[in-house]
Chains A and B, each alone.
Chain A
Amino acid sequence: MNWTAIAMFAAFVALTLWITRWAAQRTRTASAFYTAGGGITGFQNGLAIAGDYMSAASFLGISAQIFVDGYDGLIYSIGFLVGWPVILFLMAERLRNLGRFTFADVASYRFAQAPVRSFAAISTLIVVAFYLIAQMVGAGQLIKLLFGLPYTYAVMIVGALMIVYVLFGGMTATTWVQIIKAVMLLAGATFMAIMVMAQVGFSPEALFARAVEVKTSLALAGGATAEEAATRGLSIMGPGNFIRDPVSAISLGLALMLGTAGLPHILMRFFTVPNAKEARKSVLWATTWIGYFYLLTFIIGFGAIVLVATNPAFLDANGALLGGGNMAAVHLAAAVGGDVFLGFISAVAFATILAVVAGLTLSGASAISHDLYATLIRKEGADPNAELRVSRIATLVLGVVAILLGILFETQNVAFMVSLAFAIAASGNFPVLILALMWPGATTRGAVIGGLLGVTTALVLTILSPAVWVSVLGHAAPIFPYSSPAIFSVPIAFFGIWLFSKTDRSARGAIDRAGFADQEVRSETGIGAYQASDH
């Protein structure tokens, strides 16, 4: 039992529940629930986006990958970052100018509402489901290890807290939970990186040289010859086996870069700011914090090689990390800051998961209430109060489903699920959104058929890929040999949208094309954009 960690976590929960109570008093309208009334500043939103993006998967996962393979971890970080500038240049301001609550508002702006919103909602729910499962399983395992709680209780606590935040505090509470957690995580990671650099006299060369030494001596101890050991030691300084073939490298690069621009819970954040200018600023802040964070994780991963890999206190009898591979950063916290800092980082890791699942649940609930219920079922006459009630019911249902899925997938290998979420976002949401915004010829028919083709291709190819076909289903060889489907599924989506728009002779298609001129002026100028509501 780590009482420091438990005390710090309890303090975090108390603070966030207090914020939720405050937020609940302001969450009386649909606009407050979905977008915090549009009153978040660019700086705050930038931190919240960074909070959404720096999930436990990136903090623990990437530092763990660097701990094992060295350089390879950086490849992931870079891919996660480079989507942001492109979102800013091509999408952020247009999204804010055209949208209100969900990205489907923008994707369906000039199209027939029912089919495009249904597609967007389905694709949102698929992305949210995979992302949620990965986070819930990670949360359960992490909490089980850190606090000694049984897995099932851990998953239930995460689920219950997230339901409370979203249900009562809506986007206001979710945003502030994200901001607090982002500040805690950035502060903790900065402290760890500084402590690591202090150990090596603030010389990066010394840090890398020590890490290579450690890896070489570990290989020697493992029975390798001197020459082999030297090669293996040096291998952490360059790209290794993580990406074997060129097709996988490019495919993964596409999924990471374009997937960011299609994640519903991230796109939704652009509607929380008052105007396009603040949307723009929020991307600059987000990119800066996220980039800074990835530089820190690189130092933390190498620091863990130097300080954790050789310390018997953190290893079991076979020399493997106590608590599993993902714990490198947590052990490093103990190595550089003792029990109190270990408690802090553990609490931060838990807070991270809570914040990310709250954001995901909110975007899933919005897809159900705003895109499916209000626009599809109630059509024009939707009562905002009824919509708000539906989104609260959806939150509750999604929360319970997330807990059940978390328990169901406990022993499954879920590592592929985050990259699957990115691949689906890159192959469905992104092509539909970008062509709706940029290509006058796109029609309802093209967007829906092309988007569905992209999502289906991404799903099917992932099932046939090594991560699922071999690792999860236990077949001998994968049918689809590459690690990411994006290189096929993204072009298929674009081609599908093009083909089925070009061949669309329907009256609706003519309306869709004619609507572009008006949409374009509004997206470029912000005329008629939804204003921040006053409370």
Chain B
Amino acid sequence: MDRIARVKAHPGYQELVRIRRRFAWLLSAIMIIAYFGYVLLIAFDKPLLARPIGDGVMSLGIPLGFGIILLGIALTAIYVRRANRDFDARLETILNEVGE
């Protein structure tokens, strides 16, 4: 059996792919829902975003908009952290066990 087939047959590989995919799609879904939620607010309820949040002129749209930018950076950081600590180690184990 060649290396690709042996990796594919390895139970750890199947598990890694499943977990990693679920995690990646979950984070993607959070980003997409947050962003298109924001876009839909712009499309259907502009006054809500323009509404002041305190006594001054600062509107709800500003912390919300900045929040989406920061959310994007945070989700990216969460993925990289988990990939570096968890996924890479699993993958290395699998490749070592399978051999050349």
Contact = CB atoms under 8 A, between A and B. Distances in A.
* A, B in one complex: yes
A208 B31 CA distance: 28
A295 B66 contact: yes
A5 B77 CA distance: 38
A383 interface: no
A74 B4 CA distance: 47
Given A249-B43, A521-B7, 6 more contacts: A71-B49, A89-B24, A238-B59, A243-B42, A277-B84, A288-B77
Given A85-B28, A288-B73, A517-B8, A280 B83 contact: yes
Interface in B12-34: 13, 16-17, 20, 24-25, 27-28, 31-32
A295 B13 CA distance: 41
Interface of B: 3-4, 7-8, 13, 16-17, 20, 24-25, 27-28, 31-32, 35-36, 38-40, 42-44, 46-47, 49-52, 54, 56-59, 61-62, 65-66, 68-70, 72-73, 75-77, 79-80, 83-84, 88, 91, 94-95
Contact of B68 (A78, A240, A281, A527): A78
B7 A525 contact: yes
A321 interface: no
A357 interface: no
Contact of B72 (A75, A84, A90, A250): A84
Contact of B69 (A78, A90, A245): A78
Contact of A239 (B50, B54, B66, B70): B50
A286 to B, nearest CB: 9
Contacts of A277: 83-84, 88
A42 B65 CA distance: 28
A-B interface, 10 closest residue pairs, ranked by CB to CB distance from nearest = A238-B50, A246-B43, A249-B43, A89-B24, A253-B39, A237-B59, A82-B35, A205-B56, A74-B65, A287-B76
A240 to B, nearest CB: 8
A524 interface: yes
A234 interface: yes
Given A281-B80, A287-B76, A527 B7 contact: yes
B69 A77 contact: yes
Given A85-B75, A291-B70, A525-B7, A237 B42 contact: no
Nearest to A80: B69
Interface range on chain A (Cβ under 8 Å from partner)? 35 or more
A204 interface: yes
Interface in A230-246: 234-235, 237-240, 243, 245-246
Contacts, number: 153
A81 interface: yes
Contact of B57 (A74, A205, A291, A521): A205
A88 B76 contact: yes
B80 A284 contact: yes
Interface of A: 71, 74-75, 77-79, 81-82, 84-86, 88-90, 93, 204-205, 208-209, 212, 234-235, 237-240, 243, 245-246, 249-250, 253, 257, 277, 280-281, 283-284, 287-288, 291, 294-295, 298, 517-518, 521-522, 524-527
A257 B31 CA distance: 10
A209 B32 contact: no
Contacts of B80: 88, 280-281, 283-284
Contacts of A86: 28, 31-32
Given A71-B61, A90-B28, A246-B44, A287 B56 contact: no
B69 A89 contact: no
B35 to A, nearest CB: 5
A239 B17 contact: no
Given A85-B28, A90-B28, A239-B46, A518 B73 contact: no
Given A84-B72, A277-B88, A78 B43 contact: no
